[in-house]
Structure 1
Amino acid sequence: MSRTLKPLHQQTLVVTGASSGIGLATAQMAARRGARVLLVARDESGLAAATRQIVDEGGQAMYVVADVGRREDLQLAADTAIENFGGFDTWVNNAGVSIWGKLEDVRDRDHQRLFETNFWGVVYGSTIAAAHLRDKGGAIINLGSMASDRAIPLQGMYSASKHAVKGFTDSLRMELEEEGAPISVTLIKPAGIGTPFTEHAKNYTDHEPRLPPPVYRPEDVAEAILYAAEHPRRDLFIGSASKMMGSASNHVPGLLDWIGRKLLVKAQLRDEAAQHRQGALYEPGGGGRVRGDHPGQVVRPSLYTKAMLHPKSTGAVVVAGLAALAWVASGPLRRRHVW
């Protein structure tokens, strides 16, 4: 089975959840690299502003207002890409939302609504994309999470939805490979990312939510998504924290349970009282921003992810750094032999 993917500048990408955060960063980065982009989200004002900025910078972009929890909305997005761009080459299922609160405190309808977005949005988007890409080839890229491998307290149903995304994505990949479809299926598993994620979450607690450190840049996820659009990969971890948690969940699950109950509950709550209680679970939140209001340490780049995506260049930097350290360390020895 051949799964050769086009160079990015020859592609059309459909990106869901594109009015803010990772989706917006991905759309902007793809357009700057020459790709045509269809932005999909519920927030029309955010989509319009993002699309206008891309076009003003010389890129090619359109948008479709859609709720990913409705198959007909995503079919409209696919039809729009086909009508205006002649089709699409990569479909990115990025839209997602969370709920902060203990499982027993959260209303059933809120749990269901979260799954409509996080899980069914991925199912609808993936199957619609597969139908279009089955003959021509391309990539389906689904956003999982560190929580795809390891559950998190206070975000129980979010964790469940990301476990479900992983199971669905792995099954879809195997089925497409079995039939010989030239489609690459990638699962992206970020650690905490400094987007408006916490502001968009519905909050049942008495405190403003926060992501426990380390928290990485949205641009690192966008970089990985665009890498997967050109290079078939089974999965990609964003941030060494995600990779380590995924590995540890298989080897020391009891230790991670202890860390979860002792540290992660408090680590996900700020000291200040809750403000954004409703979030964007039912209504679109304020779009247009890639970064959120993450407190504390400045969002940092993921050196691990950079090394995974660019092993040769990263290796060269490491070798040069080690050579420089060796040169500095040998200074006394060199001076000792100066005549």
Structure 2
Amino acid sequence: MHLKPLAAQIIVITGASSGIGLATARMAARAGAKLVLSSRNAEALEKIVGEIQAEGGSAISVVADVADEAAVRQIADAAIAGFGGFDTWVNNAGVSIYGRISEVPVAEQRRVFETNYWGVVHGSREAAEHLKTRGGGAIINVGSVLSDRSIPLQGAYSASKHAVKGFTDSLRMELEEEGAPISVTLIKPAAINTPYTKHARSYLPTHPTNPPPVYDPQVVAKAILRCAVTPRRDVFAGGFGKMFSLMETFMPRATDRYMEKTMFAQQHGEGPNEPTDHLDAPTTAEGEERGDYAGMVMKHSAYTAASLHPMAALAMGVGAVGIIASVLAGRRGSARRRQASTWSAIEDQEHANASVGVAARDLQASARADRLGINAEVEASPYEYVP
């Protein structure tokens, strides 16, 4: 399956007014892609489109709530009217709620599904219909590490991301069976430093926060854009996400107990809980790429970078075994020692995999740049993956 280089693509991004969507839009614009950006916030979209155009890029905006199927159809129509169509559709829009399942009203849990699940369904159906007539392209759905492993206090969000994974996998198989030249990818970010905790409705007594380790949104944006030019089934954005998935696969009950002891406290931040969520409507926090996480934010993920290179596949398998062994060893100690052992294993593995990712990049850099048409200014660091 052949996908166009970014500089030749028209890319639709939902949830483009903040966080991962905004980071992806800016990076894609620098690489020369034309953009169709959508969210519920007209003011934020206007500002972002103006910023991209001022830097010589090409972008249009469509105000839409992805929970509304007709509104999503208008996004597709705008792309066709403005650019003649699109080549990649990124379903990124999402909302969340913090709180025990017994505390969160069912109507609010339904709202999470309307955006997170049905928004992906609406976008994917529109994208698939158009891409079949266009001769192919990519559908990229932003799930979560919680697509594989649920956590407490975010039950509705975890359930919605499980649903996104199930839908994405089914859609991929159906399109492949009928021979449609459409790549379908699920991106599974770990905890990312976006305004996510500001946007989420919360029933916690304190301001919610992400459990560590936390990654920069650029890590996810790079993975998304790589998948826009190279077909991938699924990608973990952040090495810790892969470890979570492996823990669920190989020791689910032990992982339950680990999370029961750690994940409640780790999602309670400092300061009072302030009602700034955008569950029902956008907020003033729109237009921000990064959040307010107070701890260390990992700017790069060597695991994600290396996993996107075929040469590193074997090394990733060896690394995964090492991570599981470290976690199992950590279970013999106290809860605090288990956390420290896990964190140390992640850091060690990220650094170990970095050399593999850099080697793969060095060997393929010139050919990849020529083939994909990547703007050289996007490449900023030897540890930084660029599609």
Check whether TM > 0.5: yes
Which residue, 5, 12, 18 being the options, matches 2:10?
12
1: CA distance, partners of 2:61 / 2:358: 40
Pairwise CA distance, 1:76:
0.3
Tell me the secondary structure at the aligned position of residue 142 of structure 1: strand
Cα pair distance change 1:93/1:317, threshold 3 Å: closer
Q: Which residue of 2 aligns with 1:334?
A: none
Match of 2:36, SS state, is: strand
- SS state at 1:254 partner: helix
Determine the C-alpha separation between the residues in 2 that align with 1:218 and 1:39. Answer: 17
- The 5 Å alignment of 1:27-106 reads 27-106=25-104
**Quick one: distance in 1 between partners of 2:132 and 2:27?**
26
Determine the C-alpha separation between the residues in 2 that align with 1:296 and 1:5.
Answer: 38
Question: Where do 5+ consecutive residues of structure 2 fail to align?
Answer: 312-353, 361-387
Distance across 1 between alignment mates of 2:278 and 2:176:
36
Q: Secondary structure at the match of 1:105?
A: coil
CA distance in 1, matches of 2:355, 2:293: 28
Deviation of 1:302 (Å): 1.3
Classify the secondary structure of the residue corresponding to 1:104.
coil
Please say if 1:244 is aligned against 2:285.
Answer: no
Regions of 4+ moved over 6 Å? none
1:262-317 deviation line (CA, Å, top 9, x unaligned): 10011000132211x35010011221111011112234321211222356695374
Q: CA deviation at 1:200?
A: 0.2
CA distance in 2, matches of 1:101, 1:300: 29
Q: How does 1:101-112 map to 2 (within 5 A)?
A: 101-112=99-110
Contact kept in structure 2, 1:194 and 1:299, CA below 8 Å: no
Q: Tell me the C-alpha RMSD between the 2 structures.
A: 1.4
User: Residue in 2 aligned with 1:154?
Assistant: 153
TM superposition score normalised by structure 2: 0.80
* 2:36–2:79 Cα contact (<8 Å) kept: yes
CA contact (8 A) 1:306 1:314 kept: no
* Conserved 8 A contact 1:215-1:300: no
| 3-state SS of 1:291 partner | coil
User: Do the aligned residues in 1 keep the contact of 2:306 with 2:357 (CA within 8 Å)?
Assistant: no
Q: Distance in 2 between matches of 1:298 and 1:147?
A: 19
Could you tell me how far apart the structure 2 residues matched to 1:164 and 1:317 are?
35
Deviation per CA, 1:116-145: give whole Å up to 9, x if none: 000000000000100001131000000010
What residue number does 2:374 align with? none
1:176 equivalent in structure 2: 175
Cα distance in 1 for partners of 2:33, 2:359 equals 32
1:327 is matched with: none
SS at match of 1:290: coil
**What percent of counterpart residues are identical?**
54
Structure 1's 153 and 201: CA in aligned 2 closer, same or farther, altered over 3 A? same
> How many pairs were matched up?
316
Unaligned runs of at least 5 residues, structure 1: 320-339
Q: CA deviation at 1:318?
A: 6.0
The aligned runs of 1:113-132 (5 Å cut-off) are 113-132=111-130
Following superposition of structure 1 onto structure 2, how do residues 308-323 of structure 1 map, counting pairs within 5 Å?
A: 308-310=307-309, 314-315=355-356, 317=358
Give the structure-1-normalised TM-score.
0.91
Residue deviations 1:229-262 (CA, integer Å, cap 9, x gap): 0000000001111011111111100111011111
What residue number does 2:365 align with?
A: none
Aligned to 1:283: 281
Which residue number in structure 2 is paired with residue 163 of structure 1?
A: 162
Contact 2:309/2:357 (8 A) holds in 1? no
SS at match of 1:184: strand
* Amino acid in structure 1 at the alignment position of 2:259: G
Which deviates more, 89-98 or 265-274? 265-274
- Which deviates more, 291-300 or 175-184? 291-300
Cα separation, 2, equivalents of 1:299 and 1:244: 16
| Secondary structure of the structure 2 residue equivalent to 1:258 | helix
SS at match of 1:103: coil
Distance, in Å, in 2 between the alignment partners of 1:298 and 1:141 is 25
**2:194 paired residue number:** 195
Partner-residue secondary structure (3-state), 1:259: helix
Bigger CA radius of gyration: 1
1:205 match: secondary structure:
coil
Confirm or deny: 8 A CA contact 2:96 2:154 kept in the other structure: yes
What is the distance in 2 between the residues matched to 1:177 and 1:155?
33
- Partners of 2:286 and 2:130 in 1: CA distance: 29
Give the secondary-structure state (helix, strand or coil) at the position aligned to 2:166. helix
